[in-house]
Amino acid sequence: MTTKCRLIFAGLALLLSSLVANVQAAEWQGLIQLGAQHSTGDTSFIDSGTGLLRYSEDDNPLQLYQAVLNVRQDIGSAWSVDITANGYTDGDQKLGLTQAQLEYKPLMAGPVKWRGRAGFFYPRMSLENVDVGWLSPYTYTNSYINSWIGEELRIPGLELTLYRPGRAVRSPWSWELHVGAYRGNDPLGTVISWRGFGLHDRQTLNNDRLNFAPYPSVTSYYGLWHPAWVEPFHEIDGRTGFYVGAHLAYFNQSELRYYYYDNNANPNAVNDQRLYAWDTRFHSLAWQHDFSNGTRLIGQWMSGSTLMGQRYVYADFDSVYIMLTQRFGDGRLSVRWERVEVDEDDVRPDDPNDSDGHAWTLAWRQDISEHWQWGVEWQHNTSRAANRPMLDVSSQQDSNAARLTVQYRIGAQ
Amino acid sequence: MMWRVLSSIFGVLALPAAAATLSVQVLDNQGVPLPQAVVYATPLDTPRPDTPAAPAVMDQIDKQFVPHILVVQRGSEVAFPNSDSIKHHVYSFSPAKTFELRLYSGTDAAPVAFDQHGTVEMGCNIHDWMLGYVKVVDTPYFAKADRQGSVTLDIPAGRYQVNLWHPRIQDNEETLVRTLDVTDSSQWTHTLSEDLLRDLSGYEKTTETFNDY
């Protein structure tokens, strides 16, 4: 993590602690998910394998999946601080922050208003990850797209939003326009070029290291001489990245979100850890629609490219998912289909980056009380990655995962 | 009830007026009843009765104002409880009452006094789709129309200025007022001339818990 990021976190922490005596109470939310799981297929990337799932076949069936705590503190009428901390038993960093932001949303009388936020956060591209701590309330395992956003994409920066809520101007249509500027997301694109898109629910913490398999073409001194991991939130080239986004909603029934994200990296910049700045840009289009019978449809499409070095790695990537979710009393049934493709077009045939796959995810989650929920999820995915044979693993892999989850929640949904 | 209060106040000074019934129906320009239309009758010849002591209630339930339209007599207090498990930040920029209230879950906010007649439009700075109205009128004789667009007011006989109001009505305000001599049983059926503004009750039809983040 860069010094600037550390300063932002220290500043936010100081601000929060100085407000403990504030008359308005802080709002706390959080949840813990734990249970039993079984995964098949190749060893997980977390254990430096080529597998795309969070757990390996020989991992302990009993797991703590999530431990999330979110606190939100108002400062006067317009300002608030929002911090999310996560704990994991797997991965490199066990305890840390996934988001920390200072938000400004003044009361404004006119039809068009503005707001802003600064800190370390996700752009609001996803319609899947809408629960506390950027978790999904639908399935436990995120889609290919949002697994990747959760592990490699975060904005240490500033976002400004112009928005017009429709109801106050007697329109069924509401819109928002977002523009963000940031530093420190330079290695974005690393894992999808080498490991491929994963399927999991482990978000990368603020100072975390994301492992993948030690592909010889990547780690060899005669290859690309890159570690078999990435720390995704480093600033490497000193350049500012940006994104723009637009939301359009019809009542609260249907919403479309488009984003164009470009980290504006210099692909030849490399730091002393041998991490590169990857010039990564993509379009993301997400749609959610509630049908009158209570069924909700959520979909997202992403298409982009990433470039590292003097075209040592260049890959186009595309992914799409479609999810249907329906409440039945206290329960919710969700089914998601998705596919992904990474196509390389670079000067290093010794470092193949092609990968593709598709997956089905089926989840049932049922509230037992205000605090307790249980659920089961089954997932099947088929994937191909051209670089796996380097590690004596078949390029084609099928894997399945099943999990039973008990969740305890504090605070509001 | 109102009549009993009135009787006790003015009974020694004058003979009580006879009870009367005012029935009003509001139809749109297609002849379709307009539910929730507000009808209020302001007495022209007798002093206006005092403001009720008990505060009215504008609740927040499932990220909506409930009721969507609350009618109160000028000088009334309105309590703003929060029945949701999340925070709301209620505000109004309306000239009739400008205020701001942060409603934390499980915490009672002090009631707000509405001292000027007029229309107060409220929003929530957290949930931008929330919208509610407090209609402040200068009389205790008011009601909201039922599904047939009908209102029945049991009031003392006498002369009244009767007004109609609804946030979707676009008609010139002067056409929505009648001076009526209300006797035993008076009726007024009003058909609007302009189109209604668009129905936005779609904002209240969300069945899903999870929206945005």
3-class SS letters over A90-123: CCCCCEEEEEEEEEECCCCCCCCEEEEEEEEECC
pLDDT of A294: 86
CB atoms within 10 A of CB A189: 32
pLDDT of A292: 85
Q: What is the pLDDT of residues A394-413, one digit of tens each?
A: 999 999 999 999 999 998 77
Domain boundaries in chain B? 18-49+139-191, 56-137
- Residue A31 tokens read as 């949840």
pLDDT of B48: 77
Mean pLDDT of B134-152: 96
Looking at 3.30.930.10, 3.40.50.1370, 2.60.40.10, 2.60.40.790, the CATH number of the domain B18-49+139-191 comes to 2.60.40.10
- Of the listed ranges A395-404, B8-17, B51-60, the least confidently predicted one is B8-17
Contact A167 B197 (CB under 8 A): no
Mean pLDDT of A39-44: 96
pLDDT value at A1 more than 90: no
Mutate which: B64, B203, B205, B206, vs A, most A CBs within 10 A: B203
pLDDT of A85: 98
Identify which has the larger pLDDT, B150 or A7.
Answer: B150
pLDDT of B10: 47
Closest CA to A338 of A148, A191, A202: A148
Mean pLDDT of B189-212: 85
Provide the total of helices (H) and of strands (E) in chain A, helices listed first: 4, 18
Scan residues 89-108 of A and list those with Cβ closer than 8 Å to B.
Answer: 105, 107
Q: Find the helix or strand (DSSP H, E) in which B61 lies.
A: strand B59-61
Nearest Cβ partner for A172 among B85, B198, B211: B198
Q: What is the pLDDT of residues A260-307, one digit of tens each?
A: 999 999 999 999 999 999 999 999 999 999 998 889 999 999 999 999
- Residue A282 tokens read as 């993509």
pLDDT of B11: 44
Q: What is the pLDDT of residues A78-96, one digit of tens each?
A: 999 999 999 999 999 999 9
- Residue A194: strand, helix, or coil: helix
DSSP assignment of A326-366? EEETTEEEEEEEEEEEEEE-SS-TTS---EEEEEEEEEEEE
Contact B213 A134 (CB under 8 A): yes
Mean pLDDT of B140-146: 96
Band (A20; pLDDT cuts 50, 70, 90)? very low
Nearest CA in chain A to B201: A251
**Could you tell me which residues come within 8 angstroms of residue A372 by beta carbon, excluding any fewer than 6 positions away?**
A406, A407, A408, A409
**Domain B56-137 of CATH type 3.30.300.130:** no
d(CA A352, CA A124): 32
d(CA A232, CA A209): 7
CA A353 to chain centre: 22
pLDDT of B213: 42
Those residues of chain B whose CB sits closer than 8 Å to some CB in chain A are 84-87, 89, 91, 93, 100, 102, 104-105, 107, 121, 123, 125, 128-131, 197-198, 200, 202-203, 205-213
pLDDT above 90: percentage of residues in chain A: 91
Report whether A293 contacts A270 (CB < 8 A).
no
Band (B106; pLDDT cuts 50, 70, 90)? confident
Contact B129 A165 (CB under 8 A): yes
Identify which has the larger pLDDT, A116 or B208.
Answer: A116
Look up the CATH number of domain A3-410: 2.40.160.10
**Could you tell me which residues come within 8 angstroms of residue B131 by beta carbon, excluding any fewer than 6 positions away?**
A167, A168, B65, B68, B121, B122, B123, B200, B203
Report whether A92 contacts A204 (CB < 8 A).
no
Give this complex's ipTM: 0.86
Q: How do the residues of chain A divide into helix, strand and coil, expressed in percent and rounded to 5? A: 10, 50, 40
Could you tell me if A295 lies within 8 Å of chain B, comparing CB atoms? no
d(CA A155, CA A149): 11
Contact B128 A165 (CB under 8 A): yes
Nearest Cβ partner for A253 among B86, B102, B202: B202
Rounded to the nearest integer, the mean pLDDT of chain A is 94
Identify which has the larger pLDDT, A22 or A11.
Answer: A11
Mean pLDDT of A8-14: 58
Cα three-residue angle A159-A200-B211, rounded to 5 degrees: 50
Q: Where are the alpha helices (DSSP H) in A111-154?
A: 144-152
Band (B205; pLDDT cuts 50, 70, 90)? confident
Contact A252 B102 (CB under 8 A): no
How far apart, in Å, are the Cα atoms of A130 and each of A43, A82, A122, A193, A320?
29, 15, 11, 27, 18
Contact A167 B131 (CB under 8 A): yes
CB-based contacts of A221-228 (< 8 A; 24+ apart in sequence)? A223/A350, A223/A351, A224/A309, A224/A312, A224/A313, A224/A348, A224/A351, A225/A274, A226/A274, A226/A275, A226/A276, A227/A273, A227/A274, A227/A275, A228/A48
d(CA B35, CA B12): 40
Nearest CA in chain A to B91: A107
d(CA A56, CA A400): 11
Contact B128 A167 (CB under 8 A): yes
Contact A172 B123 (CB under 8 A): no
Band (A13; pLDDT cuts 50, 70, 90)? low
pLDDT above 70: percentage of residues in chain A: 94
Could you tell me if A166 lies within 8 Å of chain B, comparing CB atoms? yes
- Residue A240: strand, helix, or coil: coil
pLDDT of A293: 87
pLDDT value at A175 more than 90: yes
pLDDT of A8: 54
Mean pLDDT of B118-122: 97
